[in-house]
Amino acid sequence: MRKTLSLFFLFLVYQFSAAQNSPVLSHFMFFKQQVNPASVGSEDALDIAAVYRAQWVGISGNPTVQALSVQSPLNVLNSSAGLIVINEMQGEERYTSAMLSYAYRHSFKKISLAGGVSAGIFQRAIDGSKLRSPEGNYADGGINHGDDFIPDKLSSAVAADLNVGIYLSSRKLYAGISANNVLESNVKLVGQGLQTEIENPRYYTAVAGYRIKVGKKLNLIPNVSLRTDFINTQAEVNTILQFKDNIYGGMSFRGFAPNLKDAVVLMAGFKIFKNLRVGYSYDIALSSLNEVNSGSHEVYLRYAINIKELMNPGKIIYNPRNL
């Protein structure tokens, strides 16, 4: 069953890679550098964030994602820079990417506008030795899938990638739009006799959010994410209730089209220390996969230091008695 499901997930990767090559994360509102390079440094903080996601737990070969993001404003040219690394496993297929981001920001009275670009590489790999096909022959430990397109060992390929975006932000509002996989670089994996080409088509992402003060210590923050390749479109709407910038809880709904309904997401998080925040989300599947999995789990960690506080530690008072 595990081997059969591995082939099933491999098929899903080929079919839906056009809709998204970058994995969907429930904490998208905190991890915007993943799709929009213009968002780096927008919060004037040295920001280190990490996400671990286990999707459709209970299904053998279920997708898992690990992502690490580092970003910071630079002390030159009103600019910012960042790095993001993503690793995703789906069955016996792996997608890994590393992207460097740069953004230039112009500030107006109460709002700033940024343009950004990220460039890097991605790798796709399939361990064909762990796959099994119905027509295959595996007697005496040999591997013959009976299909020239399926590799009989680990096969991988590397290609370049490029994202561009614009991002608008203020104390209450953020909004951005980006073009992802601009180069549309395809990769070719060698099978037992023929090459399988995996497409990497361009898609577009829009994100937005607004902070609404509903009490002395409470804020309501609606967020929205939209991805499209103009063939398929996936939308997610999220609402977070935040208390004193320390504790938050919220809910999301992902997938509004009848054939793309995905999940209801419950999330919560809090600050452990002044600069360290942790968050957790649980996805309840709405598709027929709900019958064979126990949900999706995602853990988010963020460590952030305000750059202005770091560069201006305060007045230093010298005490001659301690010289």
Domain boundaries, the chain: 2-310
In sign, the C-alpha dihedral spanning 148, 150, 151, 157 is positive
> Angle at the Cα of 150 (from 11 to 57), degrees rounded to 5?
40
Name the pLDDT band for 149 (thresholds 50, 70, 90): confident
Does residue 285 carry a pLDDT above 70? Answer: yes
CB 216 within 8 A of CB 195: no
Average pLDDT over residues 119-140: 89
pLDDT at residue number 264:
96
Question: Strands, DSSP E only, in the chain?
Answer: 45-54, 64-73, 79-90, 93-107, 112-127, 154-169, 173-180, 187-190, 195-198, 203-210, 212-213, 218-228, 233-243, 247-254, 263-271, 276-285, 296-306
Using CA atoms, how far residue 144 sits from 125, 168, 239, in Å, is: 19, 54, 51
pLDDT computed for residue 313 by the predictor: 54
Do 153 and 131 meet the contact criterion of CB atoms below 8 Å apart? no
Q: Which residues contact 43 (CB under 8 A, 6 or more apart)?
A: 304
Q: Provide the mean pLDDT of the chain.
A: 87
Q: Which pLDDT tens digit goes with each residue over 44-55?
A: 899 999 999 999
For residues 110 and 170, the answer to whether their CB atoms sit within 8 Å is yes
Q: Label residue 135 by pLDDT band (50, 70, 90).
A: confident
Report whether 69 contacts 84 (CB < 8 A): yes
Is-contact 208 175, C-beta < 8 A?
yes
* 206 phi, psi to nearest 5 deg: -125, 135
Considering only CA atoms, which of 87, 17, 42 is closest in space to residue 229?
Answer: 17
How far is Cα 105 from Cα 308, in angstroms, rounded to an integer?
A: 16
CATH topology of domain 2-310: Porin (2.40.160)
Asked if residue 246 lies in contact with residue 271, where contact means CB atoms within 8 angstroms, the answer is yes
pLDDT of residue 320: 58
Residue 144, pLDDT score: 84
* pLDDT tens-place string over residues 26-66: 999 999 999 999 999 998 899 999 999 999 999 988 999 99
Encoded tokens for 51? 């996400």
Question: Following CA atoms 23, 29, 33, 37 in sequence, which dihedral angle do they give, to the nearest 10 degrees?
Answer: 110
Listed residue (71, 115, 124, 57) closest to 97, CA to CA: 124
198 confidence band (pLDDT: 50, 70, 90): confident
What is the dihedral angle through the alpha carbons of 126, 131, 134, 137, rounded to the nearest 10 degrees? Answer: 110
Quote the strand ranges of 108-232, DSSP E: 112-127, 154-169, 173-180, 187-190, 195-198, 203-210, 212-213, 218-228
